[in-house]
């Protein structure tokens, strides 16, 4: 992170933590952040949070175009390996496109304060996204068999209706501190998803 291009938002009660006494630093990067730099920062912050040397953090940014491969990614799902840089990452999930038109939230929270509940944390992330979308009159929904948030196209009981994924979630937990997080598709170039079989 760069102080010249980032702005710190006041330390605020955590809206996604399920822990009323937690405070979280919120940071917004005004310019795209290179993925290796973001990972390096998150890994350092996770260590600091674990040691109690830094507060928890939510970092909002827009990434440059790239693909990330989660722990379940299959090489056959990378359809166009030369399109964008590809980064193997320890987060859950498969292949995901990140780039302009997305808002990524890297969420670094200490689950030791939250009953060491990874599934509950993922559900909290989903609910956080649903509430944020609702503020813009977008109805986001969970799906029992899939992680992420979906919007319905068409009438609910119409066989021609379909679900579109508006938010992908992939997290990693080290020593009970989370990192990586959620990517919300605001207005990305959907053609860029054609280079992968997205999760």
pLDDT band at 162 (very low <50, low <70, confident <90, very high): confident
How much is the pLDDT for 85?
98
Q: What is the mean pLDDT of residues 134-142?
A: 96
Catalytically active residues are: 199
Q: What is the mean pLDDT of residues 26-34?
A: 96
Label residues 52-76 b or e (16+ Cβ within 10 Å = b).
Answer: eeebbbbbbbbbebbbbbbeebeee
How much is the pLDDT for 1?
58
Q: Could you tell me which residues come within 8 angstroms of residue 50 by beta carbon, excluding any fewer than 6 positions away?
A: 110, 174, 175, 176, 177
How much is the pLDDT for 199?
80
pLDDT tens-digit map of 39-84: 999 999 999 999 999 999 999 999 999 999 999 999 999 999 999 9
Cα–Cα distances in angstroms (integers) from residue 70 to residues 66, 74, 76, 157, 180, in the given order: 13, 9, 14, 33, 11
How much is the pLDDT for 156?
72
How much is the pLDDT for 9?
58
pLDDT band at 13 (very low <50, low <70, confident <90, very high): very low
Min mean pLDDT across 26-35, 90-99, 156-165 is at: 156-165
| CB of 138 closer than 8 Å to CB of 152 | no
Helices (H), 89-176: 118-134
Beta bridge mates, 138? none
**Does 153 score more than 90 pLDDT?**
no
Contacts of residues 142-151 at CB distance under 8 Å and 24 or more positions apart, as own/partner, are 147/92, 147/93, 147/122, 148/199, 149/184
The DSSP code for 45 is: H
Strands (E) in the chain, as ranges, are: 6-13, 23-29, 56-61, 66-69, 86-88, 95-98, 102-108, 141-143, 146-153, 162-174, 177-185
How much is the pLDDT for 23?
84
How much is the pLDDT for 58?
97
Is the model's pTM score more than 0.75?
yes
Q: What is the mean pLDDT of residues 126-141?
A: 97
Token pair, residue 101, equals 């038109």
Distance, CA of 143 to CA of 131 (rounded, Å): 16
Pick the CATH number of 6-195 from 3.30.930.10, 3.50.7.10, 3.10.310.30, 3.40.50.300: 3.30.930.10
Domain map (residue ranges) of the chain: 6-195
How much is the mean pLDDT over the chain?
Answer: 91
């Amino acid at each position: 992170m760069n102080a010249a291009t980032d702005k710190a938002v006041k330390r605020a009660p955590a809206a996604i933590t399920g822990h009323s006494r937690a405070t979280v630093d919120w940071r917004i990067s005004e310019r795209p952040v290179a993925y290796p730099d973001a990972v390096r920062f998150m890994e350092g912050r996770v260590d600091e949070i674990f040691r109690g040397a830094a507060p928890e953090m939510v970092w909002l940014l827009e990434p440059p175009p790239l693909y990330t491969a989660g722990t379940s990614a299959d090489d056959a799902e990378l359809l166009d390996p030369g399109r964008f840089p590809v980064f193997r990452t320890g987060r859950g999930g498969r292949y995901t496109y990140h780039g302009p038109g997305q808002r990524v939230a890297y969420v670094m929270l200490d689950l030791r304060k939250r009953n060491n509940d990874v599934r509950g944390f993922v559900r909290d992330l989903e609910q956080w996204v649903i509430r944020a979308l609702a503020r813009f009159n977008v109805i986001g929904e969970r799906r029992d068999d899939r992680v992420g948030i979906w919007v319905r196209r068409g009438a609910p009981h119409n066989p021609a209706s379909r679900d579109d994924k508006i938010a992908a979630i992939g997290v990693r937990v080290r020593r009970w501190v989370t990192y990586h997080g959620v990517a919300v598709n605001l207005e990305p170039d959907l053609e860029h998803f054609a280079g992968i079989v997205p999760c």
